[in-house]
Amino acid sequence: MTDAPRRSAWALMRSGPFSRLWKAGFVSSTGDWVAMLATLSLADALAGGGGMVLALTSRIVPGLFFAAIGGIIADRLNRKYVMVIAELGRACLVFSLAFAESIQYLVLVNLALEALTLVFQPAKEATVPTLVSRAELVQANSLSLSAAYGTFPLGAAIFTGLASLGGQFTFGGAFPGTQEGLAFVVDAASYLISAALIMTIPMVHRPKRVPGSRRWNPMAVLRDLKVGVAFVASHRRVRSVVLAMTSALAGGGIIVVLGKPFATNVLESGAAGFPALLTAFGLGAGTGIILVTIFGPRFKYKDVLFGFALVLTGVSLAAAAFVKTIIGAIGWVALMGIGAGAAYVLGFAHLHEQASDEIRGRTFAALFSMLRIGLLTSMMLALPLAGFFNGLLPGILASGTRDVLLLGGATMLTSGLLTLWSVRRSLVALSHAPRPEMDDGVEAFRKYRKTVTGLGETAEIERVDEGAGK
């Protein structure tokens, strides 16, 4: 990671090593969404609703046990080759799902797919800071997040389009001729394209190991694991962000589980209520990502902004628990999305800055493991807690669904406040500074406006750079 001048998000996407990694992620993520919808459809056909639960659970459980190993692999081996091998392995596994005939086989392949994903993700996240400058981390994380989750509509459209084509591509009876089978073939192809793109990324030179050291010495692996855990647990500015992001995703899990009963039964909005809430959250998250992309790089203390974004997310979810109309819920959920999108990007950018290259893979492995724990816990407890609280409190909070939403919002709000408390020294430094952060934010907006309108962006950048050099 260098301190070179910052490029625009468009320049990062258009060319360069990060562009290839981003394009690989875009293609791979699109295929992932196609395969996810195909997996749920196949699981429903094989075992009904219980099969769908098993399929989803099998994509979460490996993170509880294998994430740490994935981080060690990312830190001990060449990350480029780790990503390529993981993509090739996932291509083979998902291709085999085209011939799956039992829910047991589907679950086993899902477990293996997620294990390889837990190797791929830390290697990918640890690679990002080596391909961009420090000033470009926010834009890079915004683009990565957009590629990971913004491709869902494209993946859904592709899966829908395959419905009429599945029976036409049997290749002489070699394939089952189903929509799901063709979807798995498409996903396998996306992994192969991703691997080919990653192979074109130049290798980053890393510090050589001590001569004579044994790479796969079991004690060395255990020592690496201990070092990674100790770093995350002892580094104040890393620990607070990891724990806060875990609680934030746990709150998101509550929305996924309780969003439909909240919209349909509590607000009585009909069948269109829940999709409207999801759309509001998605638009809000996109807005938050755009705002952070414009203003975020200009702020030095990203964990401070992260804390404020998390506070906004928690307050919005808590406020949504008290609304009586679907319109009010849409507004608060959209505001929650703004905070969540901003917090996600800022959290990743902060961890990229704080973790050194030698420990970065294990840092993100710990984050992914904690995120899965938070998500799985909230999804498992949301409905039972709603049943427990139902009728327990008076007035509008007699609804257990409202109570759990309020509890989720309070959890995220508390996490945000604790994050701000942990970085209170940075807040004090900001309060005594001569307002450079505000000036930089205004300057960022001016540059963005000139970029959109095409009025002298180059001259503006040069003028700002000259002023900064004085």
> pLDDT (tens digit, 9 = 90+) per residue, 271-294?
778 788 878 887 888 888 878 877
Whether residue 336 contacts residue 281, with contact meaning beta carbons closer than 8 Å, is answered with yes
Residues 333/281, Cβ–Cβ less than 8 Å: yes
187 contacts: CB under 8 Å, gap ≥ 6: 31, 32, 34, 35, 38, 94
pLDDT at residue 63 tops 60: yes
Residue 235 host element (H or E): none
Predicted pLDDT of residue 462: 43
Q: Centre a 10 Å sphere on the Cβ of residue 81 and count the other Cβ atoms it contains.
A: 13
Partnered with residue 133 across adjacent β-strands are 2
Average pLDDT, the chain: 76
CA 114 to chain centre: 15
Q: What is the pLDDT of residues 328-343, one digit of tens each?
A: 989 998 898 888 888 8
Asked if residue 146 lies in contact with residue 139, where contact means CB atoms within 8 angstroms, the answer is no
Are domains 1-204 and 224-433 of this chain identical in fold? Answer: yes
Which tens digits make up the pLDDT trace of 26-57?
A: 999 888 888 888 888 888 888 876 777 788 77
Amino acid residing at 133: S
Phi, psi (5° rounding) for residue 177? 75, 40
Question: pLDDT tens digits for 150-159?
Answer: 777 788 788 8
Question: At 457, is the pLDDT very low, low, confident or very high (cuts 50, 70, 90)?
Answer: very low
pTM equals 0.69
CATH of domain 224-433: 1.20.1250.20
CATH code, 1-204: 1.20.1250.20
Q: Where are the domains of the chain?
A: 1-204, 224-433, 436-468
